[in-house]
Amino acid sequence: MSPLLNRARAALWPPYTEFWGLSIGAQEIVACQLRRQAGTWQVATVNAETTPLCIYKEAPAADAVQQLAPVIARVAAGVAGKCIPLSVVIPDPAVSMAILELDTLPKTAADREALARWHLQKVGSPNTTLACVAQDLGMSDGKHLLLASAVSRVWLDGLLGACHAANVVPTLWQSAIAYRYNRFQEQLLRKGQDGALLTIDSASWALLLWDQSGRARHLRSRWRGPASGNEAETIAVEAERAVRAYAHGGRGRRLGTVHFIGESDVANRVAALLEARMQNACARLSPLSGMEMADGVSLASADAALAITAALENEG
Span 246-295, pLDDT tens digits = 888 877 788 878 899 998 899 999 989 988 887 767 889 988 888 898 99
Give burial (CB, 10 Å; 0-12/13-18/19+) of 298.
exposed
Confidence tier at 162 by pLDDT (50, 70, 90): very high
Give burial (CB, 10 Å; 0-12/13-18/19+) of 68.
buried
Where along the chain do its domains lie? Answer: 3-91+153-177+289-315, 186-284
pLDDT at 38 over 90: no
pLDDT at 144 over 50: yes
pLDDT at 52 over 70: yes
Query: What backbone phi and psi angles, to 5 degrees, belong to 311?
Result: -60, -35
| Averaged pLDDT for residues 149-174 | 95
**Which CATH class name applies to 186-284?**
alpha beta
Q: At what angle do helices 265-278 and 231-247 cross, to 10 degrees?
A: 40
Give CA–CA dist 179/49, Å, rounded: 22
Using only C-alpha atoms, the chain has a radius of gyration, in whole angstroms, of 20
Say what the pLDDT of residue 252 is: 77
Give alpha helix (H) positions in 254-302.
265-278
Q: Comparing 3-91+153-177+289-315 with 186-284, is the CATH topology the same?
A: yes
The mean predicted confidence, pLDDT, of the chain is: 88
Identify the weakest region by mean pLDDT among 75-89, 147-161, 294-308.
Answer: 294-308
pLDDT at 239 over 80: yes
Give CA–CA dist 177/5, Å, rounded: 37
273 with 230: CB under 8 angstroms?
A: no
pLDDT at 15 over 70: no
Query: pTM value?
Result: 0.89
Say what the pLDDT of residue 11 is: 47
pLDDT at 4 over 80: no
CATH assignment of 3-91+153-177+289-315?
A: 3.30.420.40
Give CA–CA dist 281/275, Å, rounded: 6
> With DSSP H G I counted as helix, E B as strand and the rest as coil, what are the percentages for the chain, rounded to 5?
35, 30, 35
* Listed ranges 57-61, 167-171, 185-189, 225-229; the one with the highest mean pLDDT: 167-171
Identify the weakest region by mean pLDDT among 16-30, 60-74, 93-107, 221-235.
Answer: 221-235
Confidence tier at 213 by pLDDT (50, 70, 90): confident
Q: Do the bridges between strand 291-293 and strand 172-175 make them parallel or antiparallel, or are there none, so unpaired?
A: unpaired
Which residues pair with residue 40 across a beta bridge? Answer: 37
Confidence tier at 316 by pLDDT (50, 70, 90): low
Say what the pLDDT of residue 260 is: 93
Say what the pLDDT of residue 14 is: 54
Give CA–CA dist 25/29, Å, rounded: 6
String of b and e for 111-144 (b: at least 16 CB within 10 Å)?
A: ebbebbbebbbeeeeeebebbbebeebeebeeeb
* Listed ranges 12-16, 57-61, 174-178, 241-245; the one with the highest mean pLDDT: 174-178
